[in-house]
A and B are shown apart, each in its own frame.
Chain A
Amino acid sequence: MMLLKRHRRFAARSCPENAEYRTIFKPRMVKKKEYGLKEADDEVWEKVQDLLRARICQNSLPENMDGTFQSQREHLTDLIRRCATIGESNSALVIGPSGAGKTMLMSSILSELAKDSKISGNILQVHLNGLLQTDDRLAVQEITRQLRLENTVKDRVFGSMAEKLSFLLEALKKDEGKSQSILFVLEEFDLFAHHKNQTLLYNLFDISQSEQTPVTVIGLTCRLDVVELLEKRVKSGFSHRQIHLFHSLSFEQACKVCEDALTLPLNYLSKKFCTEWNSHVKEFLQERIVETSLRHLYDLDKSIRSVYSILLIPICRLGPSHPRLDSADVLDALKMSSCDSKSAMLQGLTILQLCLIIAMKHLAELYEGSNINFEMVYNEYQKFVQKKSNSIQCFGKPVCLKAFEQLIVLELVRPVEGSGFTGAKLTPKEYRSLKLLVTPLQVVETLNSFSCPSELKM
């Protein structure tokens, strides 16, 4: 009897282990629901935010870095490669303004070299940071910890740092007597130069000059004059190899970087969503408001960090009710970052404090150069209030003193240095000489902008 198809299916269905089952009942391809920008729900937007926030807030490496800092990258890669393979010791300093991309360049080089097993197997890395290791002693402890030599060093007392370091390097020697290459990356290098006697730097450079171990010392710093900070003996050990990184992106390249940061990879979510999103990003960055804001920030500070800063708020506001990046958000972010904080604080002062500041400003103009103290300010305040009399009442001296002390806490008024805080020259607090830290223009602006009795506006 010819087995009809339906008989076969019946047989196959009853025993799922059967190979036929698999061929007949192929798992139905679950059709991925395609959704565009408008239909996306909460979960989708959360995933979008996850990715975009991670790119902007955390310093993750951009996917393609071809073209940026090409020559510097080749130089550094070459140095490290030679240390790992041939065993040549080197030192170099990477100098560039804050936010130029020094750490980014280093991590990108290191991640690339990690893929090459010949190099990554041969070289040990030690990362030190000047902000955390504020002392040479802490630095050596950290080196010990990163080289995982705590157990070998335990309970041994060393005479000097040179001994300590050479002991550590000896311990790393492989069995054949060949030593391991080590790469030292020192971030905030200029802070290491402020340690006492610069012993760590001296020893590191000394080791890189001597034949003991192949060592590469790379320092990252934002001070252009860092070599001046080094002592003579340290400077002589340094190879004077300086690699400069400057903000080399033009405005168009900066915009391109922004666009890359906002673009979603096509396979991240539904294809339709991603293509719609990417085209929206392109349009968004070409809007006039957004372009002027980006140019405004770029003119002040060429680093990528400042340009990213206005993208943060529009990204954080994405959601099903807000499915597009909005240029109004960009304006908001720009306003927040460029708002004059001192004027904002001035607007929160009481009327009494404002009168005292006006009195002080007046006195500063009259008595340029000589000392002003609270008594003089109070005197001036009384004269001022008596002139204007009607709506502003004149408060007593203790109340004025309390208001004045609040101004000192807010650091709008500051006692002049050496004006009597120390025990020997104890002056009563009404007589301590003061300085007003608010410009006359800010005072006038505050008076104009908020509601205060019109008598105050002179």
Chain B
Amino acid sequence: MDPENWKNEILCRDKQLSILLSLMGKNSQATPPAIFIYGHSSTGKTFLSRKIIEAKGAPQAFVNCIECQSQRLLYEDILGQLSGMLPCVQNDYARYARCETANDFVRLLKNLIANEKWEKETVYIKPLSQDQLKINVKQGVDNAERLRNMEGHILPVFLRLSELSDCNVCVILLTQIIWEKFNATSGYLDPVKINFPDYSKNELLQIMTLDAPKEYSKAFYSSYVNLLLSIFHMACRDLSELRHLALMNFPKYIEPIEKGDATEGDAHKLWRNIEPHLKKALQTVFLREVSSSQWEQYQLSDTSTLPPLLSARAHVELPFYSKFLLIAAYLASYNPAKSDRRFFAKSHGKIRQTKRMKKAETSSQLTGPKAFQLERLMAIFYSIVDVRVAPTAHIFSQISTLVTLQLLSQIGSGDQLDAPKYRCCVSLDFIRSVSRTVNFEVMKYLYEFAA
């Protein structure tokens, strides 16, 4: 373990590194029973703590709470890692011991520590995610916020593990959520809290420059990353995402150089080439609408059409009457009931002066869809469909299909058989494209958009 060498590998985290190293001390010394590390994602929490603990060489266990949806998985994983007996092919997938409750866990932990004669070392336990005898057992718990959602006694047990098991155990909790949200009622021992602040723009630049491919100079890559950050930094500060984007778009950036059109120094030309591409990337790869491999192919090919977006594929091909039912549902959800007469009755009286009232209400596009009854839906449906439609079970079953497809949602319990209530769950763009396919002007019938 050589902290000085790490300065080249672990950038911009000197203060946190020094605090953690000093708190942990030598393997045989007592450590604070619980350490709480919090910070945004990709700020280096897991990376740094794993590195330090592995370098210490003390008995350790890392657990990611996303994987453990029950306490048994959590405990058995920790015991397995500490004892070295993980389920694998050789030992026929056997566990170290069957452990279902916190009580058994503490007892087995004590036995394990006594058996392995780790009397003099620290044991580290890090439950990852959401939420570590004289041996320091260090346990790392990542994503520790999920520990809150498990049974209520698990989090206090982990925080007090050192006291309950009479051994030198250090539990390190890593999470994105602040300590105040882990509701501390009775039995909680406050851990030592360490904040991992996010990286500033310069620090991001420094770290991402380490990714530079060997053929190009660091300064060149650094200027490329600078351009990238100027577009993406406002929307995204997550180091892993930015690295991914940088690596994905680099081939396009160096395309002019490879073709021979420009050299490394022609920053302006390279910028003009890459800028529209990066803007498109913001809409597609960043949102994961387009997968990374599709994006790479798109870069290499010369076509100017984007690969099809995922969300655009959400158009479902519906039968003719279902489309009209959906449009009717949308109109019923977003129009107030009193405007129905105006839009859907064959003849109506004079329109009262409603301009003032209209402005005072918040646009229903903002407040969301409202519930409507089946009768209203059918009334609107009959008025917008041109042909005469008989109210058969055929039509009504299509409504149930729409509910199953989650384009409509049913409100209230299912026991009101004669007057069920629904709500429409699709967006305006979706309805416009659907109505375009049946040649129906939905905008004329919407309360906010009609004159």
Contact = CB atoms under 8 A, between A and B. Distances in A.
Interface of A: 46, 49-50, 53-54, 56-59, 98, 129-135, 138, 142, 188, 190-191, 222-223, 305-306, 309, 312-313, 316-317, 336-337, 339, 341-342, 344-345, 347-352, 371, 373, 375-376, 379, 392-393, 395-396, 398-399, 402-403, 409-411, 424-428, 430-431
Contacts of B369: 427-428, 431
Contacts of B190: 305-306, 309
A403 B235 contact: yes
Contacts of B38: 341, 345
Contacts of B282: 395, 399
B55 interface: no
A54 B30 contact: yes
A393 to B, nearest CB: 7
B233 A350 contact: yes
Contacts of B237: 348-350
A337 B406 contact: no
Nearest to B189: A305
Contacts of A351: 233-235
B425 to A, nearest CB: 5
Q: Which 3 A-B residue pairings sit nearest by Cβ, starting from the closest? A: A431-B368, A348-B198, A341-B178
B138 interface: no
14 contacts: A50-B30, A54-B29, A98-B188, A132-B157, A134-B102, A134-B153, A223-B186, A313-B22, A348-B198, A349-B237, A371-B367, A399-B287, A424-B411, A425-B409
A432 B423 CA distance: 14
A131 B187 contact: yes
B144 to A, nearest CB: 13
Nearest to B287: A398
Contacts of B427: 428, 430
B103 interface: yes
A435 B30 CA distance: 43
Interface string B5-49: 000000000000001001101101111110000111001000000
Interface of B: 19, 22-23, 25-26, 28-33, 38-40, 43, 101-103, 106, 151, 153, 156-157, 160, 162-164, 168, 176-181, 186-190, 192-195, 197-198, 233-237, 282-283, 286-287, 289, 311, 362, 365-369, 406, 409-413, 423, 425-427
Nearest to A135: B101
A188 B423 contact: no
A98 B19 CA distance: 27
A330 B439 CA distance: 74
Contacts of A393: 234
Contact of A347 (B23, B101, B102, B198): B198
A134 B234 contact: no
A268 B294 CA distance: 69
Contact of B160 (A131, A133, A350): A131
A379 B40 contact: no
Given A133-B103, A348-B237, A398-B283, 8 more contacts: A50-B28, A131-B102, A131-B153, A142-B103, A316-B23, A336-B192, A350-B235, A396-B283
Nearest to B184: A98
B178 A342 contact: yes
Given A131-B156, A131-B160, A316-B22, A57 B30 contact: yes
Contact of A375 (B25, B289, B366): B366
Nearest to A312: B32
B234 A392 contact: yes
A424 B410 contact: yes
Contact of A395 (B30, B176, B181, B235): B235
A133 B106 CA distance: 11
A127 B178 CA distance: 34
Contacts of A427: 368-369, 409, 423, 425
Nearest to A145: B107
A347 B39 CA distance: 10
A138 B197 contact: no
Q: Is the interface of A mostly helix, strand, loop or mixed?
A: helix
Nearest to B166: A58
Contacts of A349: 237
B227 to A, nearest CB: 15
Contacts of B194: 336
Contacts of A341: 38, 178-180, 193, 195
A46 B29 CA distance: 9
Given A134-B151, A341-B195, A396-B283, A424 B413 contact: yes
Contacts of A350: 233-237
Given A336-B193, A426-B409, A134 B101 contact: yes
A399 B235 contact: yes
B164 A129 contact: yes
Nearest to A337: B193
A98 B29 CA distance: 26
B119 to A, nearest CB: 14
Q: Which of the listed residues B233, B237, B413 has the most CB atoms from chain A within 10 Å of its own CB? A: B237
A130 B406 CA distance: 46
Nearest to A129: B164
Q: Which of the listed residues A339, A341, A349 has the most CB atoms from chain B within 10 Å of its own CB? A: A341
Contacts of B188: 98
Contacts of B195: 336, 339, 341, 344
A34 B281 CA distance: 70
Contacts of A430: 368, 427
A209 B412 CA distance: 55
A177 B102 CA distance: 37
Nearest to B362: A376
Contacts of B235: 350-352, 395, 399, 403
B399 to A, nearest CB: 16
A454 to B, nearest CB: 15
A375 B365 contact: yes
Nearest to B168: A58
Given A132-B102, A313-B19, A426 B425 contact: yes
Contacts of B153: 131-132, 134, 191
A98 B162 CA distance: 17
Contacts of A409: 176
Nearest to A221: B186
Q: Which of the listed residues A134, A395, A409 has the most CB atoms from chain B within 10 Å of its own CB? A: A134
B305 to A, nearest CB: 19
B366 A376 contact: yes
B366 A373 contact: yes
A59 B25 CA distance: 18
Q: Which of the listed residues B25, B180, B362 has the most CB atoms from chain A within 10 Å of its own CB? A: B25
A409 B437 CA distance: 38
B276 to A, nearest CB: 15
A426 to B, nearest CB: 4
Contacts of B423: 427
A344 B178 CA distance: 9
A375 B368 contact: yes
Contacts of B103: 132-134, 138, 142
B177 A379 contact: no
Contacts of B362: 376
B102 A309 contact: no
A141 to B, nearest CB: 8
A142 B168 CA distance: 23
Nearest to A128: B103
Nearest to B178: A341
A347 B282 CA distance: 23
A424 B425 CA distance: 13
Contact of B162 (A58, A190, A424): A58
A399 B178 contact: no
A345 B40 contact: yes
B287 A402 contact: yes
A138 B186 contact: no
Contact of A348 (B39, B102, B180, B368): B39
